[in-house]
């Protein structure tokens, strides 16, 4: 089967010689955008669990890892990457971070450490700590850009500017840590020009991976209030597919694509309804890219009609 874009699964298989899976962990972190250091309530789209609805947040880290290896999931591969997923997983003292990371790296089958966090939770000491782990594990750090539009960043209560984002990338790359950037498609008040600018921004910086998310509405968020008041309309499935095709065909082919759609929690999702059907997105994209003969980076520098 011909691959049309630089998939994470293929990248990891090439790097480690076989299939590699992630173990999602709740590290018991919070976020400076929630605890008052920067703001309260988080970003306008962020749920109470910070994208970790399916995790066992009441269990200690080592138990979460051991439970995984005692389940059927561990039979699907021989190598795994521990993924600290929800909230800001570098938001603590270096001493506590080391304790938490060490508590997860307890099985010889674990070959990597992935850490999701915010750029304002990265400093020199954190970068040095992660670099120590990179001597024995493949380490990457995920940072939420969402958009390069500073006005949108303020509106969604992101809590940091692009300069802070670039500083974090520089710190991590100076220590040889791979960086994965999150972008969101269909944010409030954004248009196609904003999407193009965000992809141009992504292509201009030293990153190794990207996660592409649709903007979805979940209960208990400010975005939900906007949706209920008629102030926000999510993208349709067709619009999102158009955007995905633009992103991929205009994305540096060396950037690894970690995902092409978010995982909306079914019990909390308000809209759009198509977002809970991840296979629709994956199958639809695969079919369209084959029919139209598209591939990652094909149209770098070329124009594209707006799906908005």
Residue 51 in this model has a pLDDT that exceeds 80: no
C-alpha span between 27 and 25 (Å, rounded): 6
9-13, 33-37, 197-201, 213-217, range with the lowest pLDDT: 33-37
Q: What is the pLDDT of residues 125-142, one digit of tens each?
A: 999 999 999 999 999 999
User: What pairing do the DSSP bridges indicate for beta strands 138-146 and 110-117?
Assistant: parallel
Q: What is the pLDDT of residues 241-297, one digit of tens each?
A: 999 999 999 999 999 999 999 887 888 999 999 988 888 999 999 999 999 999 999
192-204 and 237-249 helices, crossing angle to 10°: 30
The band of 38, judged by pLDDT with boundaries at 50, 70 and 90, is: confident
C-alpha span between 242 and 304 (Å, rounded): 10
Q: Which residue has the higher pLDDT, 304 or 170?
A: 170
Residue 49 in this model has a pLDDT that exceeds 60: no
- Which residues make Cβ contacts (< 8 Å) with residue 77, sequence separation at least 6? 18, 19, 20, 21
Give the DSSP letter string of 71-116: SGGGGG-SEEEEEE-SS-TT-S-HHHHHHHHHHH--STTEEEEEEE
Residue 1 in this model has a pLDDT that exceeds 50: no
Phi and psi at residue 300, to the nearest 5°: -55, 120
What's the pLDDT at 52? 43
C-alpha span between 260 and 214 (Å, rounded): 8
**Domains of the chain as residue ranges with CATH:** 8-291 (3.30.750.200)
The band of 302, judged by pLDDT with boundaries at 50, 70 and 90, is: low
The band of 157, judged by pLDDT with boundaries at 50, 70 and 90, is: very high
Residue 41 in this model has a pLDDT that exceeds 70: yes
What's the pLDDT at 221? 93
Residue 218 in this model has a pLDDT that exceeds 90: yes
**Average model confidence (pLDDT) across the chain:** 92
The band of 33, judged by pLDDT with boundaries at 50, 70 and 90, is: confident
DSSP lists the bridge partners of residue 212 as 183
User: Which of 123, 126, 21 is CA-nearest to residue 81?
Assistant: 21
Q: Which residue has the higher pLDDT, 57 or 233?
A: 233
What's the pLDDT at 272? 94
User: Which of 42, 251, 62, 253 is CA-nearest to residue 156?
Assistant: 42
Does the N-terminal peptide bond of residue 272 adopt cis geometry, omega within 30 degrees of 0? yes
C-alpha span between 159 and 101 (Å, rounded): 26
- Taking the CA atoms of 172, 174, 175 and 176 in sequence, report the sign of the dihedral they define: positive
Question: Are 252 and 301 contacting, i.e. CB atoms less than 8 angstroms apart?
Answer: no
What's the pLDDT at 88? 93
Q: Could you list the beta-strand ranges (E) of the chain.
A: 20-25, 79-84, 110-117, 138-146, 178-185, 209-214, 217-218, 256-259, 269-271
Please report, rounded to a whole number, the percentage of residues in the chain having pLDDT higher than 90.
83
162-174 and 124-133 helices, crossing angle to 10°: 40
What's the pLDDT at 166? 97
What's the pLDDT at 307? 65
Residue 74 in this model has a pLDDT that exceeds 90: yes
Residue 95 in this model has a pLDDT that exceeds 60: yes
What's the pLDDT at 304? 61
């Amino acid at each position: 089967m011909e691959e049309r874009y630089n998939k994470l699964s293929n990248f990891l298989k090439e790097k480690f010689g076989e299939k590699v899976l992630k173990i999602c962990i709740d590290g018991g972190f919070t976020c400076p955008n929630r605890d008052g250091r920067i703001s309260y309530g988080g970003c306008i789209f962020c749920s109470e669990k910070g994208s970790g609805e399916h995790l066992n947040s009441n269990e200690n880290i080592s138990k979460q890892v051991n439970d995984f290896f005692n389940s059927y999931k561990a039979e699907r591969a021989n190598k795994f990457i521990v993924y600290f997923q929800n909230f800001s997983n570098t938001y603590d003292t270096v001493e506590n971070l080391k304790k938490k990371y060490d508590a997860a790296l307890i099985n010889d089958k674990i070959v990597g450490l992935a850490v999701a966090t915010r750029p304002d939770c990265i400093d020199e000491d954190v970068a040095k700590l992660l670099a120590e782990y990179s001597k024995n594990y493949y380490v990457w750090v995920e940072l939420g850009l969402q958009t390069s539009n500073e006005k949108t960043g303020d509106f969604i209560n992101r809590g940091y500017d692009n300069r802070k984002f670039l500083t974090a990338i520089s710190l991590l790359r100076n220590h040889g840590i791979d960086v994965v950037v999150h972008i969101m498609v269909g944010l409030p008040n954004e248009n196609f020009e904003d999407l193009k600018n965000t992809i141009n921004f992504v292509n201009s910086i030293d990153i190794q991976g990207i996660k592409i998310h649709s903007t979805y509405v979940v209960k208990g968020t400010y975005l939900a209030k906007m949706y209920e008041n008629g102030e926000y309309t999510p993208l349709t499935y067709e619009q999102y597919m158009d955007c995905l095709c633009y992103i991929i065909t205009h994305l540096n082919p060396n950037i690894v694509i970690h995902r092409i759609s978010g995982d909306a929690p079914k019990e909390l999702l308000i809209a759009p309804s198509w977002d809970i059907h991840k296979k629709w997105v994956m199958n639809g994209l695969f079919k369209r890219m084959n029919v139209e003969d598209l591939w990652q980076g094909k149209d770098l520098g070329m124009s594209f009609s707006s799906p908005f």
